Amino acid sequence: MGDAGMKLVVLWRRPEVRFLVLFLVILAVAFTTVALRPVNDAVVVPYTRWVAAVSARVLNVLGQNVSRHGCSLSSPRFSVTIYNGCNGLIATLILLSGVLAFPARWSGKVIGVVGGVLVMEVINLIRIVSLFYIGVYFPKLFNQAHIFVWQSIVILSSVVLWIVWARTFGTVPPGDA
């Protein structure tokens, strides 16, 4: 093995390098997979409809008189469509990529995946419901709340959730203590 090969082997032994490479590979595979039309049509669109259905149920419990058509929510005062990117899937994939790439026992990874999906779903549900209310009562603020506030909150939530998970379930490889 040449000098460059040895440097790569030494570099790969560093846990932060392994994590970063694995994280980026898993994330790229996940993003590419959900971007494929057959996956989008068979998984992402039904998932987004489910997110819209749950959101409509919560909004109706809160008295908003919402009807759902596909991925769209409508009331007499406001309408919104939930698109891919607004369904919480991207932030969840970021979190799951971090969990799967980080050194931890498989039991911890399962907790991270299942718990992470559930927590991100709750955060995204709160996001959609609050954005619907903003659209009803403060329509001029909807775009700012949607693009700047909630997109940031959802992505930061996935990162913070990953940090909490990594501190709780992450393991230090032998010799790196």
Mean pLDDT over the full length of the chain: 92
175 domain residue, yes or no: no
- Across the strands, what pairs with 38? none
Assigned domain for 7 exists: no
Mean pLDDT, rounded, for 150-176: 87
Q: What is the pTM of this model?
A: 0.87
Number of domains composing the chain? 1
pLDDT score at 173? 57
Residue 174 pLDDT grade (very low, low, confident, very high; cuts 50, 70, 90):
low
pLDDT of 62-102, one tens digit each?
Answer: 999 999 999 999 999 999 999 988 899 999 999 999 999 99
Encoding tokens for residue 155? 């992505």
Is residue 121 domain-resident?
A: yes
Within a domain: 9: no
Domain membership flag for residue 8: no
Whether 1 is in a domain gets the answer no
> CA-CA distance, 135 to 70, in Å (whole number)?
19
**pLDDT confidence of residue 1:** 63
Residue 39: the pLDDT is 96
Residue 89 burial by Cβ neighbours in a 10 Å radius (0-12, 13-18, 19+): buried
76: which 2 tokens? 């007499």
In a domain, 156, yes or no: yes
Q: Out of 2-16, 92-106, 148-162, 163-177, which region has the weakest mean confidence (pLDDT)?
A: 2-16
Position 176 in a domain: no
**Could you list the residue range(s) of the whole structural domain that residue 107 is in?**
15-169
